[in-house]
Structure 1
Amino acid sequence: MNDKKADIFNYGRELFSSKGFKDTNVSEITKMAGIGVGTFYNYYSSKEKLFMEIFLEENVKLKKRIMESIDLDGDPLKVVNELMFLNVSGMNSNPILREWYNRDVFSKLEQHYRQENGIKYVDFLYNSFVELVKKWQVEGKMRDDIDCEFIMAIFAALINIDTHKEEIGIEYFPHILDYLAEFVIKGLTDYQK
Structure 2
Amino acid sequence: MDKKQVLKTAAYDVFSKKGYKATAISEIAKQAGVAVGSFYNYYDSKKAIFLDVYVDENNRVRQAMINELDWEMNDMVGLVSQIFRRSRSYVSSNKILMEWYNPLISDELHKYYSSEEGKVANPFHQFLVETFTNRMVEEGYSQKKIQEILQVYNLFYYMDMHITENDFSGISKTVEILATYFIKGILK
Normalised by the length of structure 2, the TM-score is 0.80
Q: Which residue of 1 aligns with 2:117?
A: 121
- How many Å separate the matches in 1 of 2:16 and 2:68? 24
Q: Which residue of 2 aligns with 1:185?
A: 183
**Per-residue deviation at 1:156?**
2.4
Q: Could you say if the C-alpha distance between residues 91 and 22 of structure 1 is closer, same or farther in structure 2, counting changes exceeding 3 Å?
A: same
Q: Identical aligned pairs, as a percentage?
A: 30
Taking the TM superposition and a 5 Å limit, the aligned residue runs for 1:16-31 are 16-31=15-30
The answer to whether structure 1 residue 95 and structure 2 residue 91 are counterparts is: no
The answer to whether structure 1 residue 41 and structure 2 residue 52 are counterparts is: no
Taking the TM superposition and a 5 Å limit, the aligned residue runs for 1:43-82 are 43-74=42-73, 75-82=75-82
- How many Å separate the matches in 1 of 2:140 and 2:16? 40
- How many Å separate the matches in 2 of 1:158 and 1:78? 21
Q: Could you say if the C-alpha distance between residues 79 and 34 of structure 1 is closer, same or farther in structure 2, counting changes exceeding 3 Å?
A: same
Render the CA deviation track for 1:30-66: whole Å, top value 9, x for unaligned.
1111111121111112211111111111111111111
- How many Å separate the matches in 1 of 2:78 and 2:108? 34
**Per-residue deviation at 1:165?**
8.1
Render the CA deviation track for 1:123-172: whole Å, top value 9, x for unaligned.
336333111111121122767424264243244257569843894469xx
Q: Which residue of 1 aligns with 2:151?
A: 150
Amino acid paired to 1:130: V
Q: Which residue of 1 aligns with 2:106?
A: 106
Contact 2:17/2:95 (CA < 8 Å) preserved in 1? yes
CA RMSD of the aligned region, Å? Answer: 3.0
Q: Could you say if the C-alpha distance between residues 138 and 102 of structure 1 is closer, same or farther in structure 2, counting changes exceeding 3 Å?
A: same
- How many Å separate the matches in 2 of 1:106 and 1:168? 16
Amino acid paired to 2:82: E
Contact 2:10/2:28 (CA < 8 Å) preserved in 1? yes
Gaps of 5+ in 1: none
Q: Could you say if the C-alpha distance between residues 149 and 127 of structure 1 is closer, same or farther in structure 2, counting changes exceeding 3 Å?
A: farther
**Per-residue deviation at 1:13?**
0.6
- How many Å separate the matches in 2 of 1:119 and 1:161? 11
Amino acid paired to 1:150: Q
- How many Å separate the matches in 1 of 2:162 and 2:38? 40
- How many Å separate the matches in 1 of 2:96 and 2:79? 25
Amino acid paired to 1:101: Y
- How many Å separate the matches in 2 of 1:102 and 1:52? 13
- How many Å separate the matches in 2 of 1:77 and 1:141? 18
Amino acid paired to 1:3: D
- How many Å separate the matches in 2 of 1:163 and 1:25? 25
